[in-house]
Structure 1
């Protein structure tokens, strides 16, 4: 397989923490950052277990009824990579050279480092590692130490080091201290507040060797971390062989071949690689916003999963998609409890969560983003339509009914139609508005789907009639004079943001301006109305007018934005604009375009880059179980090849630019 190798030459920012993120290894349960074997002050080593979190009470200066009660933060656990080395008693080293090669075709990371002591003695450390997909409790390493220009005593120590809390030094609301004090009893580590258990089995190493010049010493280590105190006996070589076979199968169904732009070819494969690695597999975990590669956004699950990640999994890896949707079904009781707490019917899913409870302390850009309810329903429907998995939908249809019941109790019928007030749409720079177009469109879709299920299963028919009526009478704002879709009832009346007076260093705006300053202006953080246009059919002329109005007002401060605008640009035949947006999405982390890849990958954008190719360039549409495509390839892309799995049948799509 060609062009499946990532090296340092592919990165736009080779800072230590960026490298740790981008070369991180993960398997859906366990993630390990690719930190230096001999750490520097710039390093941020660590490992994570999906869904393993600590909780703390949220302290409000001014509290109110129904506010989220507790933080939940995925715990940064152990440094599994640091090697303690001394050469004839010298233990201080300077890094001379480093080389990293991530073989995405096999899921194996190979590294080589050269270090020197103050007296000039040089060693080479070669590492080979994997987070096993065959046994997801295991991180495995093969380590070689070579004496380059000396003969002498080399002391090697390698053991897991629990990372203690140190605090966050930079101001960024997307970050929070993630390491935690853990209660240790034997091989059990327990969080103090959330009372979650983690069991470990580590192959620690400590030995002093006598190495001759050019002699190499090699050893392997297996680190087992599991929520269950039950570990299998495995070997490094077996795990490596299994890993290679698993990734061969993954790429056979999920690879995308681009001819014409080698950088974008590598970019999309890098994105798909990380999507496969960080997705939860057990029905009790989901997909954290930064995957299992960093501590950004505290390891929380958002709407990102449903709207940006699940399309890729539904069309290529339906079993993973089923697991991610099962997580939502399993936290339905928490969503029902939350709706009841706020005195609404049905279920209200948390905006950001790990265990199903709301953890967003800032409700205007948190709980008020009620569209997550409709996003979840949309994802269930997409899975239903693409896979035809009738048993799964039959088992979990209550999720859709409960979401529809929430919307019936939250919205209301007016003289204009069914209206939904006091919500925040995808654009987090415009909060607490009436009749957000995206939200109303998604709720309309939820009502239609819930009614369809009710008829399919011959139940709740009285409710189904009410849902259908509400959907048919859903209110959508429209400015007849300007012939524009209204993002909400007030957006078009606001004062435009003064972009020409905003210095480049003041982006993202959320780090430099108070919400009151931002909310009163016409300015978008990300695609909102345009996201609705990506998902639903409108006239090409209407979409183009809305695109031309909203795109210049969009900062793209959110990594979720560019891919959506790219898909819609394809939809209105602006193929070269779409190409520019796709380039930004496909290489966002490789080029560190958002300036914070060190916090972890931008998972939703990675899913968005798949959308850019499949929904955008290939114009994918699914109608009654049948796929339709249209050619929107930009000039630079000569051809595009990919696979889709529709109702159990694999179909290869090939599009040429002629």
Structure 2
């Protein structure tokens, strides 16, 4: 099954750090970058534990009430892959050949390296590894070192060691140094500020042996990193067998077969592989923006989970979806405290966080994105609709009610209706505006859902009347002259960005222009109004006009953008454009088209590529107990087969 195999030939940027990201192994709890066994200056080894972070005070030159107080940064823990080697006293080697093969079908990584000493002695280093999905505290390795053209003494030391990471010099607000000093007491490691602890158990090896030409030394290693001081007793082979079985079941439930482009087939499987690997499973962790493959965005959780990742899990892996939603339930008290701190009722979820507290130091593009409340509620609603698990929703109805209470307090009634002011929508190049269409549309949906749920449970029924009334009277701006929906009250009054005279090296704009320069123009970072059109029905004529207006103003500087425009293009019958957007999304990390895959995968885009196929090309919808599809396949794709799970039953769908 070659389309389940990823090699170095399949990736565009073969830099050391890109390879480390793309071939990283993870299991939702533990993630390990595929760093070189013999380190070079370019290598950035990394081992991450989901939701294990260090905190530091945010230092403001000018502070103000209610600003976020602390950074939270996922800790880069150990280098579990490097080895110390000496061949007849020589410890400096030249890498002369390298092979990296990821078997996505089985969840196993195979590597081969040929090293050479200064005096011409060659040896082969073979490595088989995986992050165990059956025992999530375990990273497993099987190693063989073979003398190719010499007989001599091989001395080796193989153990896990703390990572010391040097901060990169390039300016990029999306990354931050994640190294930290841990306090060690025996096999217990504790962060200094957040006071989180882990326990480790490493198989270490120190050996000196004479090898004759053609002989080899082989060994297996299990690295255990856990929040509990007890560890799996399973052997390497037992763990490997379970890994293969788990991945076989995963692909039965989640695989998508597309005929017509083997590159895209491999790309979509690569994306789903990483989605399965990085999703939290314990209800206390979630899905970091870069998964467990790198340090970008400090391991924070955003709205990405609910709007871009959750549909994939709801339709194919509902138990994982439930765990991701359970995380939101676990941090509800922090969201309630945040709303109270800012002077509002209900709950306000943090824009970027690990433990539930707001960590975004720049509130115009952080806290002001209050649409996250409605995004989370939307995720719960979709989960209930597709899975039929009403018990889970009803047990956690407080979350839905508390988000509705926030909207009722944050918005207000005017002559025009119920308005929501001073917010930032998905488009982060437009901040602190009134009546952002996406925000108002999502808030309306949140309020309707809360009202229906309250009436169903026969609780909070008096409040439900207010929620329903606010939703019914939600204000949406419309420009009569252009006949388009207004992104917000002020967007159409702004000067269009000068795209013609903006050189390509000035993108993404956020790295080259001050926010004041960007905010005063008509320019979008990503889909905003068009995202609302992807989620909610609107007349095709209206969506066509909006699409034609907003897409040319969109830079797609965010990796979250192309997939949304692609889905909507599919629904509009613009198959050529839809295919182009999907293609760019499906192989974004394989091609490193955003130029920063070295920081970690673009998880939301990976989820978005699934949306492009299922919501876009297949036109899937599920309403009132009925599955509907609409064949939007572009000419480049001859057929598509996929499996979804509805109300606990697997449905196999073919689009030709």
Q: Report TM bin, short chain.
A: over 0.9
- Measured against aligned partners, the alpha-carbon deviations of 1:98-136 in whole angstroms (never above 9, x if no partner) come to 000000000000000000011111010000000000000
CA deviation after TM superposition for structure 1 residue 625, in Å: 2.3
- Measured against aligned partners, the alpha-carbon deviations of 1:465-514 in whole angstroms (never above 9, x if no partner) come to 11111111000000011101100000011000001111111100000000
What CA distance in whole angstroms lies between the structure 1 residues aligned with 2:562 and 2:352?
22
Residue correspondence of structure 1 range 26-41 to structure 2 within 5 A? 26-41=26-41
What CA distance in whole angstroms lies between the structure 2 residues aligned with 1:103 and 1:232?
24
Q: Please name the residue that 2:282 is paired with.
A: 282
Q: Secondary structure at the match of 2:588?
A: coil
Q: Is residue 116 of structure 1 aligned with residue 150 of structure 2?
A: no
Q: Which moved more, 1:209-218 or 1:271-280?
A: 209-218
CA deviation after TM superposition for structure 1 residue 161, in Å: 1.2
Q: Secondary structure at the match of 2:56?
A: strand
CA deviation after TM superposition for structure 1 residue 90, in Å: 0.2
What CA distance in whole angstroms lies between the structure 1 residues aligned with 2:388 and 2:93?
58
Residue correspondence of structure 1 range 501-650 to structure 2 within 5 A? 501-650=501-650
CA deviation after TM superposition for structure 1 residue 165, in Å: 4.5
- Measured against aligned partners, the alpha-carbon deviations of 1:233-285 in whole angstroms (never above 9, x if no partner) come to 11110010000000000000000000001000000000000000000000000
Residue correspondence of structure 1 range 222-261 to structure 2 within 5 A? 222-261=222-261
- Measured against aligned partners, the alpha-carbon deviations of 1:45-102 in whole angstroms (never above 9, x if no partner) come to 1100000000000000000000000000000010000011100000000100100000
- Measured against aligned partners, the alpha-carbon deviations of 1:291-326 in whole angstroms (never above 9, x if no partner) come to 000000000000000000000000000000000000
Q: Decide whether the 8 Å contact of 1:95 with 1:113 is kept in 2.
A: yes
Q: Decide whether the 8 Å contact of 1:165 with 1:181 is kept in 2.
A: no
Q: Secondary structure at the match of 2:594?
A: coil
Q: Secondary structure at the match of 2:177?
A: coil
Q: Secondary structure at the match of 2:324?
A: helix
Runs of at least 5 residues in structure 1 that lack an aligned partner in the other structure:
none
RMSD between superposed Cα atoms in Å:
0.6
Residue correspondence of structure 1 range 422-501 to structure 2 within 5 A? 422-501=422-501
Q: Please name the residue that 2:348 is paired with.
A: 348
Q: Is residue 19 of structure 1 aligned with residue 19 of structure 2?
A: yes
CA deviation after TM superposition for structure 1 residue 230, in Å: 1.0
CA deviation after TM superposition for structure 1 residue 179, in Å: 1.0
CA deviation after TM superposition for structure 1 residue 32, in Å: 0.1
Q: Decide whether the 8 Å contact of 1:29 with 1:281 is kept in 2.
A: yes
Q: Please name the residue that 1:267 is paired with.
A: 267
What CA distance in whole angstroms lies between the structure 2 residues aligned with 1:179 and 1:314?
35
What CA distance in whole angstroms lies between the structure 2 residues aligned with 1:489 and 1:269?
41
What CA distance in whole angstroms lies between the structure 2 residues aligned with 1:482 and 1:391?
46
What CA distance in whole angstroms lies between the structure 1 residues aligned with 2:460 and 2:83?
62
What CA distance in whole angstroms lies between the structure 1 residues aligned with 2:569 and 2:177?
39
Q: Which moved more, 1:161-170 or 1:303-312?
A: 161-170
What CA distance in whole angstroms lies between the structure 1 residues aligned with 2:620 and 2:189?
47
CA deviation after TM superposition for structure 1 residue 168, in Å: 3.1
- The number of residue pairs the alignment matches comes to 656
Q: Please name the residue that 2:45 is paired with.
A: 45
What CA distance in whole angstroms lies between the structure 1 residues aligned with 2:193 and 2:467?
42
Q: Secondary structure at the match of 1:40?
A: coil
Q: Decide whether the 8 Å contact of 2:44 with 2:165 is kept in 1.
A: no
Q: Decide whether the 8 Å contact of 1:625 with 1:646 is kept in 2.
A: no
CA deviation after TM superposition for structure 1 residue 603, in Å: 0.1
Q: Please name the residue that 1:400 is paired with.
A: 400
Q: Decide whether the 8 Å contact of 2:586 with 2:609 is kept in 1.
A: yes
Residue correspondence of structure 1 range 144-155 to structure 2 within 5 A? 144-155=144-155
What CA distance in whole angstroms lies between the structure 1 residues aligned with 2:178 and 2:565?
33
Give the 3 Å change call, closer, same or farther, for CA 111–165 of structure 1 in structure 2: closer
What CA distance in whole angstroms lies between the structure 2 residues aligned with 1:478 and 1:457?
36
Runs of at least 5 residues in structure 2 that lack an aligned partner in the other structure:
none
Q: Decide whether the 8 Å contact of 1:84 with 1:156 is kept in 2.
A: yes
Q: Please name the residue that 2:72 is paired with.
A: 72
Q: Please name the residue that 1:6 is paired with.
A: 6
Q: Secondary structure at the match of 1:641?
A: strand
Residue correspondence of structure 1 range 274-313 to structure 2 within 5 A? 274-313=274-313
Q: Please name the residue that 1:379 is paired with.
A: 379
Q: Secondary structure at the match of 1:590?
A: helix
What CA distance in whole angstroms lies between the structure 2 residues aligned with 1:105 and 1:147?
31
Runs of 4+ in 1 over 3 A off after TM superposition: none
What CA distance in whole angstroms lies between the structure 2 residues aligned with 1:16 and 1:161?
20
Q: Please name the residue that 1:316 is paired with.
A: 316
CA deviation after TM superposition for structure 1 residue 2, in Å: 4.3
| TM score, norm. by length of structure 2 | 1.00
Q: Please name the residue that 1:417 is paired with.
A: 417
